[in-house]
Structure 1
Amino acid sequence: MSVTTTTHLNFRGAAREALDFYQRVFGGRTVAVTYKDAGNVQNENEADWVMWGEVVADNGFHIMAYDVPSQLPWNQGQNPFFVSVRGDAADEISALWHKLAEGSTVVRPLEPAQWAPLYGMLTDRFGVTWVLDVTAPYNG
């Protein structure tokens, strides 16, 4: 069992550009799933925005990013990032979730999602937003 943390950057329409830039700087590979790819288009103008993306390099660099859809609040100065905790065991992620949830505001309950066996988001009592999920292979 293993757990990793990754900085998860939030953008409004610039995630792909940022991921491409970081890939050029640090190397590695980029994966970007659009809202259209995931069948989750809420606004046609945002269909090609990144719903989930990352750059992973052999040197250890790893960053995640997405485009916050227009129906959700976003302010570059207030919520520019999440801390992402990913693991391969549902029981371990669930246990971490329950500990982090104490005194937190749940943004999205920890439950199965289209892209992961478990996914949830909460903002802890210190104002840090955490995304926890159980990893699943991408079959895009």
Structure 2
Amino acid sequence: MAVTTTTHLNFRGSAREALAFYQSVFGGRTVAVTYKDAGNVQDENEADWVMWGEVVADNGFHVMAYDVPSAMPYDLGANSFFVSVRGEDTEEISALWQRLADGANVLRPLEPAAWAPLYGMLTDRFGVTWVLDVTAPYNG
């Protein structure tokens, strides 16, 4: 039996825009099902919000997202999670960083660290904090 995990991001009205942005960064395909598409409209102002969405790329990237309806509580919180993207190629991670950094608040620039050839942290324009790094062998 195999098990996988997928980051599921919650937004309030900006899931479609976030999914499109992540697809532009990581590639792949985007699927977005609205509340209207699913026949589950609770508030007409939210009919075109994303009830279920994802970006899936051939490089292994997979993220899901939806818009939390206004009838439900929503609090992004502070430091409630980070999304970690790890790779083995510095050029690939650097290219992803450059695209993801568009409109972001860089918390730690992408640069060599004591534990990795490259490591950086940023909060993107949607309030999601990302950690990107290049893997290195553990030397215990």
Band the TM-score falls in, shorter-chain normalisation: 0.5 to 0.7
Q: Tell me the secondary structure at the aligned position of residue 5 of structure 2.
A: strand
Higher-strand-fraction structure: 1
- Residue-pair matches, total: 81
Structure 2: runs of 5+ lacking an equivalent: 82-140
Q: What residue is the counterpart of 1:10 in the other structure?
A: 10
Deviation, structure 1 residue 77 = 1.4
Cα separation, 1, equivalents of 2:17 and 2:79: 19
Say if 1:26 and 1:57, in contact at 8 Å, map to a contact too. yes
Question: Aligned Cα RMSD in Å?
Answer: 1.7
Runs of 4+ with >3 A deviation: 78-81
User: Structure 1 14/79 Cα, relative in aligned 2: closer, same or farther at 3 Å?
Assistant: farther
Provide closer, same or farther for how the CA distance between residues 80 and 52 of structure 1 changes in structure 2, counting only shifts above 3 A: farther
Q: Give the match's secondary structure for 1:59.
A: coil
Shift of 1:76: 1.4
State the TM-score, normalizing by the size of structure 1: 0.55
What's the TM-score once normalised by structure 2's chain length?
0.55
Deviations 1:55-89 (A, max 9, x none): 000000000000000000001116977xxxxxxxx
Highest Rg: 1 or 2? 2
% identical aligned pairs: 84
5+ residue gaps, structure 1, are 82-140
Higher relative contact order (CA 8 A, sep 6+): 1
